[in-house]
Structure 1
C-alpha cells in the first residue's frame, strides 16, 4: 500500500509492505494528521494552540495532547538554556518544531496498533520506519541534486533541520536572531518525537548543538557546519556516503 497526501503544509507519504493491510490503517494515520493540523497549527486562528497562545484557555481547559506538547517544549527549552523556545517575542506561541515529529510518531503508533509491521512514514523528509531495513538519504545542504549520506534503519526515526527549504526559519531563543553555525543537523533516534525535536533544538544552538545532541543517550548525529565540515557520531547508521563539502 502506498499513499501520499499534503497535510500540515508538506507532503506526507506512507508505504506499507505488509500483505492484506486494511485501508482503514492508513485512513487512521491521515485522519489524525489532519486533526493535528486543525488543533495545533499556530496559523489557524481558532486552533487550540492559537487560543492558548492568546491566553484564552486556562490550564484545566487544555487537552492532554497539548499538555504533552507543552511539556516537550519546556523540556527542550531548559535543555538548551533557551536556544530552543516555542515562545519567541513578537512571534507568539509556535510549537511546530515539536508538533511535527510528535504527531507523525503518533501516526506510526496507530499503524503498529493496527498490526502493521513493515512501513515507512515520511513527513516532509522526516521519517519513521519499522520492519526494515529501509534506506533514506540526507540531502546535501547546499546542493539540491546531491546527497551527503545514505543511512539504513530497521526500526526508528530520522529527522533533519536545515536552512535549504525555508531559509533562516530557526531562531536562537537566546538572541532572537536566526541560528547560525550549522548548515544542517540530522538526528537518528528511537522515535520521531525525539529525532525531530533534538534536530531543531541542536540547530538553534548552532555549532555547540552538535556536541549537545551527540551526548544524548540513543541519539546519533550527522551535522554539516558552516564551511562544509562534517561531524558525525560513530554509531550513525551510514550505508553509503558522498562528501558534504561544496
Structure 2
C-alpha cells in the first residue's frame, strides 16, 4: 500500500509492506491528520488552539492538554529556550503537534495489524519493522546528503534552517536561533524525535549535548561553523 497526501502544509507519504492491512487503515491515518490540523493549527482561526489563545475555550480537550503538557515539559527542560508562548506571538504548539499527531497516526496503523511501514511527514519519519534507510539532507546543498541512517522501529526528525529560514526562536532571547544549521534526532517515537530536535535547535550550539543526553536519543548535527557532531550510537547505514 502506498499513499501520498498534502496535510498540515506538507506532503505526507505512507508505505505499508504488509499485504493484509486494509486500505481503510490508510484512510484512518489521513483522516486523523486532517482532524489534528483542524484542531491544533494556530493558523486556523476556528481551531481549538486559536480559540484557547483568544480565551474562548476554558476546558481544553484531552488531546490539547497532552500537547500543552509536552510543551511545558520541554520549556522547563531547556530553561525557556523552547517556548510555544513567545511574547508578541500567539500560542503556537506546532513543534509538538506534528510529531505527536504523526506518532498517533502510526499507532492507528499498528492497531490495524501493520508491522512494516514507513510514515514520512515532511521529512520526519516513523519507521516500523525494517530496517529502513533515511537520508539526512545536506544543510547547504539540497541535492546532497550528509549521511544515511538505517532505522528499525524508530523515528527520525530534523530541524533546520534550509527550508524555512530562521524560523525557530530562542525563547530566552526572543531572537532566531542561529547556532546550528541542522539537528537530526533518532528516538523511539516521533513525538520525542521531533520535539527534541526543535528544542535542541532553539538551544543553539549547546543543544547538541543537551539532545545527546536525552534517554533513547541519538544525534547528528551541523553547527553554524559547519562542524559535524554525531553520537556513538547513531544508526548510520553501512
Q: Give the TM-score range, shorter chain.
A: over 0.9
1:168 alignment counterpart: 166
Matched, 1:13 2:13: yes
How far does the alpha carbon of each residue in 1:83-110 deviate from its partner, in whole angstroms, 9 at most, with x for none?
Answer: 0000011111000000000000000000
How far does the alpha carbon of each residue in 1:175-197 deviate from its partner, in whole angstroms, 9 at most, with x for none?
Answer: 00100110000000000000000
1:130 alignment counterpart: 128
The 2-side partners of 1:142 and 1:82 are apart by 29
Matched, 1:237 2:219: no
Instruction: Give the SS at the match of 1:70.
Output: helix
Instruction: Give the SS at the match of 2:36.
Output: helix
The 2-side partners of 1:233 and 1:54 are apart by 42
Matched, 1:119 2:117: yes
Matched, 1:105 2:97: no
1:3 alignment counterpart: 3
How far does the alpha carbon of each residue in 1:36-93 deviate from its partner, in whole angstroms, 9 at most, with x for none?
Answer: 11000000001000011112211xx210000000000000000000000000111110
2:56 alignment counterpart: 56
The 2-side partners of 1:124 and 1:131 are apart by 20
1:42 alignment counterpart: 42
The 1-side partners of 2:61 and 2:37 are apart by 15
Instruction: Give the SS at the match of 1:211.
Output: helix
Instruction: Give the SS at the match of 1:67.
Output: helix
How far does the alpha carbon of each residue in 1:196-231 deviate from its partner, in whole angstroms, 9 at most, with x for none?
Answer: 000000000000000000011100000000121100
2:182 alignment counterpart: 184
The 2-side partners of 1:186 and 1:20 are apart by 33
Q: What pairs up with 1:149-168 in 2 under 5 angstroms?
A: 149-168=147-166
Aligned Cα RMSD in Å? 0.6
Give the unaligned 5+ runs of structure 2.
Answer: none
2:32 alignment counterpart: 32
Instruction: Give the SS at the match of 1:57.
Output: coil
The 1-side partners of 2:48 and 2:118 are apart by 29
How far apart are residue 20 of structure 1 and its match? Answer: 2.8
Instruction: Give the SS at the match of 2:51.
Output: helix
Q: TM-score, normalised by structure 1?
A: 0.96
How far apart are residue 160 of structure 1 and its match? Answer: 0.1
Matched, 1:143 2:141: yes
2:72 alignment counterpart: 74
The 1-side partners of 2:95 and 2:33 are apart by 15
Deviates more, 1:231-240 or 1:105-114: 231-240
Aligned length: 238
Give the unaligned 5+ runs of structure 1.
Answer: 241-246
Which aligned runs of 4 or more in structure 1 are off by greater than 6 angstroms? none
1:243 alignment counterpart: none
The 2-side partners of 1:233 and 1:20 are apart by 38
